[in-house]
Amino acid sequence: MRRLLPLLTLLCLAFGPLPALSQSLEALIRQLPEGSFSDRAEVVAAIAATLDERAVGVLEALGEGDLHQRKADGAILKVTGRGSKARAFDPLTGEELGPVPARSTTAIKVNNALRRAVRSGIATLTLMHRDPTRRLAAANAAFQSADPDQLEALGAALAAEQDSSVAEALAQAQAAALLASDADPALRVEAIETVRARGGRDALAVLTPLRASEDPAIAEAAAAAVAEIERSQAMWARAQNVWFGLSLGSVLLLAAVGLGITFGVMGVINMAHGELIMLGAYTTFVTQELIRGHAPGLFDWSLAIAAPLAFLVAGGIGVAMERGIVRHLYGRPLETLLATWGVSLILQQTVRSVFGPTNREVGNPSWMSGAFQLGEMTVTLNRLTIILFALVVFAGLLVLLRRTPFGLRMRAVTQNRPMAAEMGIRTGWIDAMTFGLGAGVAGLAGVALSQIDNVSPNLGQSYIIDSFLVVVFGGAGNLWGTFAAAFSLGIVNKFLEPVAGAVLAKILVLVFIILFIQKRPRGLFPQRGRAVEA
């Protein structure tokens, strides 16, 4: 209340004895048609000073010239439409009052000075709204319009403001309005600093024309501020690209890390890897359908339920593939490639026959939808979740490989099979489990991808080539290599996209990898030692 006092005094000073201030909004509105334009401007200011939300509509109607006075009883109406289509509304409540007979009302005249008063009044009303978010929106709108007529309203609102973020926005709006006015150059140079601190495209729009100002001090300050903002804009654009790149990289990592195990560690080319991802996505779909049908309350948990199921489904198929097919083809990598390609065709067609060829709808749980603003860039929650999920899966795999007995046996078998067998490790069983692990991780990837990609039988095909390139680029047999390759390819891709376009960027990345493999046939982080050549 203490901060409101200066405002009230200001208003009192402005409007003198003020019979208006004590009056109700209704009474004030009735005075609108009376007196000279300048008298009526005072009435408008008084209406604004009531801070009554309903007044916004009245002033807007006045500004548009829609406010009429009924000849019969002097009532004030809002009239829309012309001639026989004219209809009247209560200006305060918006309630419809029926058609208006021709010539039964007279429009309340407005001139430019009054329009200015109306704009200023509306600004006051919205800038002093009870709801801080509305006040913030009004302050931002005032910044964009940068109207010197609103200076007074802005100053008053700023003086009354208690919320610090709104106050900041108000100060910036005031500065913008000041820059558009012909105030003292020293003040305006100061205002430039305030606007620059805001940054962003809006500030750029306010400052750019000032570079051509006649006052050299202003022109210079504006030019410096514009350069500064453009620098920060460019930095945010880069940050946004990095973010998109991390997002793409996490998708690549998820898709490729399972392959990093089957191909990288075991040396088995699994061309059905993409289809295992696709099965993970369909597992999510089926889980969600069941939850929708039987326990809708669990929907927010659907992904948490689907993830282990997808791991089991894809992993189970992986184990079956290993036992049934891949096992017979060890040491013949090219034949393995063909046989697993055959499996991929069969899986694709099976899914197409069961679920149909069209895209299936997989929902986002509520906690994954939405976005928040980080500086100048938008961070969507589903992308953020997928990045975190990819990191968790990757970390889990590392722990499994490095810190568990199973991981120890797995590494023993891949490094020296006969010796591992001598030590009593059931190598065949380890092979099946390792392959199943890689396949299960593909299933997990499917759960994540179902949130951002179309779930169709072709889902897997779009990832298989990328995944292989990621693994090969990173260096087969090295999970950290896969990690580095996924994120670096993701980021490079996203930085090329604005320059070259999405498709050309992809082509360039492919060509780059092809050339890179020529130079370093074993990837970024090649394995060393005798095992490499065997």
Partner 1 sequence: MVRKGLIDRRTGLFLVVLFAVIVLIPLGNLLLAPGTAGHVPGYLLPLLGKYLCFALLAVSLDLVWGYAGILSLGHGAFFALGGYAMGMHLMREIGDRGVYANPVLPDFMVFLSYEKLPWYWHGFDMFWFACLMVLFVPGLLAFVFGWFAFRSRVTGVYLSIITQALTYALMLAFYRNEMGLGGNNGLTDFRDVLGFSLSADSTRIALFVLSGLALAFGIILGRFITGSKFGMVLVGVRDAESRTRFLGYRVEHYKLFVFTVSAMLAGLAGALYVPQVGIINPGEFSPANSIEIVIWVALGGRGTLVGAALGALIVAAAKSWLTANFPEAWLFVLGAAFVLVTIFLPRGVIGLLDGLKPGGRHRHALPQAAPEPAE
Q: What residues line the site for partner 1 (CB under 8 A)?
A: 269, 271, 325, 328-329, 331-339, 341-346, 348-350, 352-353, 461, 465, 468-469, 472, 503-504, 506-507, 510-511, 513-515, 517-519, 521, 530, 533-534
CA dist 98 and 87 (Å) reads: 6
In terms of CB distance, is 336 or 478 closer to partner 1?
336
Percentages of the chain per state (helix, strand, coil), in multiples of 5: 70, 5, 25
Least spacing, CB of residue 513 vs partner 1, in Å: 6
In terms of CB distance, is 211 or 327 closer to partner 1?
327
In terms of CB distance, is 383 or 494 closer to partner 1?
494
CA dist 172 and 423 (Å) reads: 74
Least spacing, CB of residue 63 vs partner 1, in Å: 47
Least spacing, CB of residue 508 vs partner 1, in Å: 9
Q: 46-83: buried (b, 16+ CB within 10 Å) or exposed (e) per residue?
A: bbbbbbbebbbbbbbbbbeebbbbbeeeebbbbbeeee
Least spacing, CB of residue 277 vs partner 1, in Å: 16
In terms of CB distance, is 139 or 314 closer to partner 1?
314
In terms of CB distance, is 1 or 534 closer to partner 1?
534
Least spacing, CB of residue 412 vs partner 1, in Å: 19
In terms of CB distance, is 17 or 521 closer to partner 1?
521
Distance, C-alpha 17 to centroid of its chain: 53
Length of the chain: 534
Residue by residue, DSSP assigns 312-334 as HHHHHHHHHHHHHTGGGGTT-HH
Helix ranges, 16-163 (H)? 25-30, 37-49, 55-64, 112-127, 132-145, 151-160
In terms of CB distance, is 27 or 502 closer to partner 1?
502
CA dist 63 and 176 (Å) reads: 23
CA dist 394 and 258 (Å) reads: 9
- List of residues 6+ apart from 109 with CB closer than 8 A: none
In terms of CB distance, is 82 or 530 closer to partner 1?
530
3-state DSSP assignment of residue 78:
strand
As to burial, measured by CB atoms within 10 angstroms (0-12 exposed, 13-18 middle, 19+ buried), residue 483 is buried
Least spacing, CB of residue 518 vs partner 1, in Å: 4
Least spacing, CB of residue 407 vs partner 1, in Å: 24
In terms of CB distance, is 370 or 501 closer to partner 1?
501
In terms of CB distance, is 72 or 515 closer to partner 1?
515
Least spacing, CB of residue 319 vs partner 1, in Å: 16
Instruction: Kindly state the tokens that stand for 307.
Output: 């993830």
Least spacing, CB of residue 415 vs partner 1, in Å: 15
- List of residues 6+ apart from 257 with CB closer than 8 A: 390, 393, 394, 397, 441, 445, 479, 482, 483, 486
Least spacing, CB of residue 433 vs partner 1, in Å: 22
Least spacing, CB of residue 434 vs partner 1, in Å: 18
Q: Residue 8: how many CA atoms within 13 Å on its side-chain side?
A: 8
Q: What is the largest CA-CA distance in the chain?
A: 109
In terms of CB distance, is 209 or 333 closer to partner 1?
333
Cα three-residue angle 104-109-114, rounded to 5 degrees: 150
